Amino acid sequence: MEPMLRGGVVLDCTGRLGWLAGRLLADLGADVTRFEADGADVSSAEWHALNVNKRLVRADLTVPGGRRMLEQLVAAADILIATPEAGSEEAFDHGRLSGINPRLIVVAITPFGLTGPKADWLASDIEIMAAGGAMSLAGEPDGAPLRVSAPQSYAWAGAQAAVGALTALAARWRTGRGQLVDVSAQAAVITALSHAPTFVDISGITPTRAGAYMTGRSVTGANYRVFWPCRDGFINFILYGGAAGRRTNEQLVAWMRERGFDLGPLGDIDWARFTPTRASQAEVDSMELPIGRFIGSLTKREFLEEAHRREMLGYPVSNTADIAADPQLEARGFWQDLPGPDGTERHCGCFVVVDGVRPPLVRPADDTGKIRRQARET
Amino acid sequence: MNAGVLALDGVKIVEFGGYAAGPHVGKMLANFGATVVHVESMSRPDGFRMQYPPYKDDKPGINSGGCFTYFNDSKYGVTIDLKNPEGRKLARKLADWCDIVIENMRPGVIDRLGLGFEELRKSNPGLIMLSTCNMGQTGPRADTPGFGSQLSALAGFCGLTGAKDGPPMLLYGPYIDYVASTLGATAVLAALERRQRTGNGAYLDVSQYECGLLFLAGSLLEYHTSGKIAERAENDDPDAAPHGTYACLGEGWIALSCWSSEEFARLCGAIDRADLGRDPALATLAGRKAAAARINDALNAWTRDREAHEAARMLQAAGVHTHAVNSVADLFTDPQLIARRQWSRRRHPVIGDQAYCAPAFELSETPGDVTASGPVLGADNERVFRDFLGMSEDEFNAVRAQGAMD
């Protein structure tokens, strides 16, 4: 069946904040043209990973010639994605561009949105993660707020921009017109906070960072350990309730018993009646002591395979090498090999399998002559 | 309320499943006008209703949980007993009525209920169905059960959070579920676009794990290309210095970063340390990284006596990347989020007024809206089954008497 966004023409004029948006639309079948100024560095892994599957055009959109070229392309485009900054707002102004093509959808991705008192504030990933509340929830309770070391706010903003672009595309079937999609990266990060805002709103409690523990699951305020040292790293394991938690806890106890580990209080617990929302901290601590001894004897891979076999909840804390070697991803054809400047590049494939087939990436990430030659040969 | 055209007006969605990964997709689309029906049963309500606080007055109750309502605003709520043959018939009618089915059960479960894609499309050939689960519908670990808070560890996020020599850190809640729900919404919307063009439906198999990896795509390509394993680095960044968080008065913190020597000089001027800005040893990124302790001492000395939001305003005025580390409570008072109407209060019969999160983007012509609080269990059975499906009163009562809505 044909690609879902076949025929969709997307102009990607974004900076780092918006790269993922065009990648997602390209993976879903749109024809995405990516603009980079002459001489702009496109060599980083980050650039390649998020600009693969797009057609690269070298053009400076801040000079009149580049602007004229963009305007010609706008006439036949469906979606233009930009990350307007001081000095480039006019080039991507929806009002002006809709004069050229009233059906054009303009997606503007900025740290705080195009309106409001902080619309002009400077922010990179760390400030956006701070503004969106995510950093207040990551890190040790008595330590500094943390971000994820690989930038996340750009991905949140780009993903929300793709949703916005396609929502506007759906609206166009009804209205016949394009519109402006004004994406706030700060607001996009709030999505990552799960239901944390409801604690402030309903209970007057401000959730805080809990380090390696999970909070917010108990009315007694008890914290549950999440990360357990194992032989070659860490395991993420949590005492859950409900049907799935019951099976996991029962299987863990059975596994420990088979291996001859001391069960402590675990052996006497009726897991069908265990409710994590009501357990006290002392009860949690006494349950976790023997679990820690047991998990400390396992490797990450051992836990992954055996927990799967026993239908238990819990996963190892993977690094990029663990992920790259995961047979599950290999079996699903997640990785896609494309020509790169130094040989083959292995990319994350399209995030969705459509009608049983993962849509293939069709364009390599770089525009060097070498890559173009390789692409023709493959 | 939006009195104009809604972006997704007329799009009908039915959700089978619970927690975050499925229902959050429906919420995002409901906020732009889709008619979304969330299906639970009296005996197996959505796990977010009872398993996660907060509850109104701290009293766990089937209709008092704010976690459930937060992800199910603007929807209709019905109960169907899928173990009851009459219930399955009712579910089938609902699936025939809708354009899109969203489900996040374990792989195979929806098929065993007789509500799998191949079965449903026999009577609804243009159906779009999104199946979202931990690992995807295929592969050796397809049947793995799991929650997003743990999957975030398998997908690399937790290992990339924390100090280099310390333990991994938790991200709040099922972080990766929201990555998958956001990407899942793009897949559903893309499928709608194709259906509009061709009339064809689609089956969308979303692995939450794979979605998460798109958020680490650069680090993964780096590993595949060079063998370099990405490591957690506290708040450091390879391209900026200083780059971190600094404690302010009280409990507050600010995050700030400098991406050029000019910006660093502006920062130094703003904190009355122009001497550092003029120091040639600090004029390069490498120089500033080498002198991190000295720079951080100067910054800490300036920030510790200042309120975080005020400090951030001062540094922004000087042209420096900075923002207060907003607490979750701050999100309700941040003037930027207030100006952009990030929160909409809607009244719930048990919880009372609750703040719901508005979309992260504004559409100029067809704006989104939070149209209702999350439903109490089975609140809309009559509306959905009688008005949407066209059941007569007698038919409705008979089906209900047979336990289909238990």
Q: Give the rounded percent of residues in chain A with a pLDDT score beyond 70.
A: 96
Provide the pLDDT for residue A377. 39
Provide the pLDDT for residue A88. 77
Instruction: Test B255 with A171 for CB contact under 8 angstroms.
Output: no
Instruction: Test B190 with A29 for CB contact under 8 angstroms.
Output: yes
What band does A219 get if pLDDT is binned at 50, 70 and 90?
low
Provide the pLDDT for residue A135. 98
Name the nearest CA neighbour of B165 among B244, B234, B246, B239.
B234
Instruction: Test B325 with A135 for CB contact under 8 angstroms.
Output: yes
Instruction: Test B150 with A177 for CB contact under 8 angstroms.
Output: no
What band does B173 get if pLDDT is binned at 50, 70 and 90?
confident
- CA-to-CA distance for A145 and B251, rounded, in angstroms? 11
Q: Give the rounded percent of residues in chain B with a pLDDT score beyond 70.
A: 99
Pick the CATH number of A212-319 from 3.30.1540, 3.30.2310, 3.40.50, 3.10.20: 3.30.1540
Residue with token string 């993903």: A159
Query: Residue B74, by phi and psi: left (phi above 0), alpha (psi -120 to 50) or beta?
Result: left
Is the sign of the CA dihedral B213, B215, B219, B222 positive or negative?
Answer: positive
Q: State pLDDT tens for residues A107-124.
A: 999 999 999 999 999 999
Assess A86–B contact: CB distance below 8 Å, yes or no: no
Instruction: Test B149 with A193 for CB contact under 8 angstroms.
Output: no
Q: Give the rounded percent of residues in chain A with a pLDDT score beyond 90.
A: 80
SS3 A340: strand
DSSP tag of A274: -
Q: State pLDDT tens for residues A236-294.
A: 998 888 777 899 999 999 999 999 999 999 999 999 988 887 888 898 899 999 999 99
Name the nearest CA neighbour of A31 among A84, A92, A73.
A73
A168: which chain B residues are within 8 Å (Cβ-Cβ)? 7, 363, 366
For B:162-201, CB contacts with A below 8 A are: 162, 166-175, 177-179, 182-187, 189-194, 196-198, 200
Q: State pLDDT tens for residues A10-54.
A: 999 999 999 999 999 999 999 999 999 989 999 999 999 999 999
Instruction: Test A213 with B230 for CB contact under 8 angstroms.
Output: no
What residue of B is the nearest CA neighbor of A123? B321
Provide the pLDDT for residue A222. 82
Assess A325–B contact: CB distance below 8 Å, yes or no: no
Neighbours of A373 (CB within 10 A): 11
Which of A79-93, A217-231, B130-144 holds the top average pLDDT? Answer: B130-144
What residue of A is the nearest CA neighbor of B64? A202
What average pLDDT does the segment A125-152 reach? 97
Average pLDDT, chain A: 92
Provide the pLDDT for residue B4. 78
Instruction: Test B187 with A150 for CB contact under 8 angstroms.
Output: no
Helix crossing, A242-258 with A281-295: angle to 10°?
50
What residue of B is the nearest CA neighbor of A226? B170
Q: State pLDDT tens for residues A318-335.
A: 999 999 999 999 999 999
Dihedral through CA A149, CA A153, CA A159, CA A163, nearest 10?
160
- CA-to-CA distance for A304 and A308, rounded, in angstroms? 6
Q: Tokens for B199? A: 């009339």
What band does A341 get if pLDDT is binned at 50, 70 and 90?
confident
| Domains located in chain B, CATH noted | 12-215+349-401 (3.40.50.10540), 243-332 (3.30.1540.10)
Instruction: Test B170 with A138 for CB contact under 8 angstroms.
Output: yes
Give the angle subtended at the CA of B237 by the CAs of B233 and B241, to the nearest 5°. 125
> What pTM was computed for the model?
0.95
Name the nearest CA neighbour of A33 among A11, A63, A1.
A11
Q: State pLDDT tens for residues A177-192.
A: 999 999 999 999 999 9
Architecture of the domain spanning A9-191+332-377: 3-Layer(aba) Sandwich (3.40)
pLDDT greater at residue A342 or residue B292: B292
Rounded to a whole number of angstroms, the distance from the CA of B209 to the nearest CA of chain A is 9
Rounded to a whole number of angstroms, the distance from the CA of A357 to the nearest CA of chain B is 9
DSSP tag of B236: -
Residue ranges of domains in chain A: 9-191+332-377, 212-319
Question: Residue B202: what are its φ and ψ, rounded to 5°?
Answer: -160, 150
Task: Determine which helix (DSSP H) or strand (DSSP E) holds B29, and give its type and residue range.
Answer: helix B23-30
Provide the pLDDT for residue A211. 85
Provide the pLDDT for residue A218. 66
For A:34-73, CB contacts with B below 8 A are: 44-50
DSSP tag of A199: I
- CA-to-CA distance for B368 and B31, rounded, in angstroms? 5
Across the interface, of A145, A150, A213, the residue whose CB is closest to B160 is A150
Give the residues across from A56 on adjacent strands.
A34
Q: Tokens for B72? A: 């199910």
For B:377-406, CB contacts with A below 8 A are: none
Assess B313–A contact: CB distance below 8 Å, yes or no: no
Contact call for residues A119 and A112 (beta carbons, < 8 A): yes
Assess B283–A contact: CB distance below 8 Å, yes or no: no
Q: State pLDDT tens for residues A362-374.
A: 999 875 544 443 3
Provide the pLDDT for residue B1. 41
- CA-to-CA distance for B368 and A181, rounded, in angstroms? 11
Rounded to a whole number of angstroms, the distance from the CA of A17 to the nearest CA of chain B is 12
Q: How many residues does chain B have?
A: 406
Q: DSSP readout, B56-124? A: GGG---TTTBHHHHHTSTT-EEEE--TTSHHHHHHHHHHHHH-SEEEE-SPTTHHHHTT--HHHHHHH-
Task: Determine which helix (DSSP H) or strand (DSSP E) holds A304, and give its type and residue range.
Answer: helix A300-309
Q: How many CA atoms lie within 13 A of A293 on its CB side?
A: 15
- CB under 8 Å to B326, separation ≥6 — which residues? A130, A131, A132, A133, A136, B334
Q: State pLDDT tens for residues A79-102.
A: 999 999 877 778 899 999 999 999
Assess B350–A contact: CB distance below 8 Å, yes or no: no
pLDDT over threshold 80, residue A134: yes
Across the interface, of A121, A346, A352, the residue whose CB is closest to B205 is A352
What average pLDDT does the segment A294-305 reach? 96
Q: State pLDDT tens for residues B105-127.
A: 999 999 999 999 999 999 999 99
Average pLDDT, chain B: 96
Q: Tokens for B191? A: 């499928």
What residue of B is the nearest CA neighbor of A211? B169
What band does B145 get if pLDDT is binned at 50, 70 and 90?
confident
Strand A31-36 vs strand A55-58: parallel, antiparallel, or unpaired? parallel
Rounded to a whole number of angstroms, the distance from the CA of B290 to the nearest CA of chain A is 19
Give the residues across from B79 on adjacent strands.
B40
Assess B4–A contact: CB distance below 8 Å, yes or no: no
Q: State pLDDT tens for residues B265-281.
A: 999 999 999 999 999 99
B169: which chain A residues are within 8 Å (Cβ-Cβ)? 138-140, 146, 209, 211-212
What band does B3 get if pLDDT is binned at 50, 70 and 90?
low
Assess A88–B contact: CB distance below 8 Å, yes or no: no
Assess A196–B contact: CB distance below 8 Å, yes or no: yes
